[in-house]
Amino acid sequence: MKAEPKAPILPLLRQILDVQRYYRDIVIAELPLTRKTWDIQNYILECERILFSPRLFREICIRLASLMTSHIPETDFISLIFNLEDSTLEALATTVQCCLEPDLVEAMGITVRELRLHKLCPLDPSVLAEFFLAAIVPFYIAYAYQQAPKGDWQQGWCPVCGQYPVNGYNRPGDGRRILGCWMCETEWIHSRLTCPICSSSQEGQLMLFLEEDSNRRIQVCDTCGYYLKITDCTQAQTGCDLQLENAATVFLDILAQRKGYRPASHPQRFTREMR
Residues engaged in binding Zn ion (CB under 5 A): 158, 160-161, 163, 181, 183-184, 186, 195, 197-198, 221, 223-224
- Whichever of 104 and 233 has its CB closer to Zn ion, that residue is 104
The distance of closest approach from Cβ of residue 71 to Zn ion in the complex, given in angstroms and rounded to an integer, is 26
- Whichever of 107 and 160 has its CB closer to Zn ion, that residue is 160
Question: Residues 36, 148: contact at Cβ < 8 Å?
Answer: yes
The distance of closest approach from Cβ of residue 114 to Zn ion in the complex, given in angstroms and rounded to an integer, is 23
- Whichever of 84 and 183 has its CB closer to Zn ion, that residue is 183
The distance of closest approach from Cβ of residue 164 to Zn ion in the complex, given in angstroms and rounded to an integer, is 9
- Whichever of 125 and 165 has its CB closer to Zn ion, that residue is 165
The distance of closest approach from Cβ of residue 46 to Zn ion in the complex, given in angstroms and rounded to an integer, is 11
The distance of closest approach from Cβ of residue 40 to Zn ion in the complex, given in angstroms and rounded to an integer, is 12
- Whichever of 18 and 46 has its CB closer to Zn ion, that residue is 46
The distance of closest approach from Cβ of residue 7 to Zn ion in the complex, given in angstroms and rounded to an integer, is 25
Name every residue whose Cβ is closer than 8 Å to that of residue 60 and which is 6 or more positions away in sequence. Answer: 19, 20, 23, 135, 138
- Whichever of 5 and 102 has its CB closer to Zn ion, that residue is 102
Side-chain half-sphere CA neighbours of 273 within 13 A: 7
The distance of closest approach from Cβ of residue 109 to Zn ion in the complex, given in angstroms and rounded to an integer, is 18
- Whichever of 238 and 271 has its CB closer to Zn ion, that residue is 271
The β-bridge relationship of strands 262-263 and 226-232 is parallel
How far is the CA of 172 from the CAs of 12, 49, 233, in angstroms?
30, 34, 6
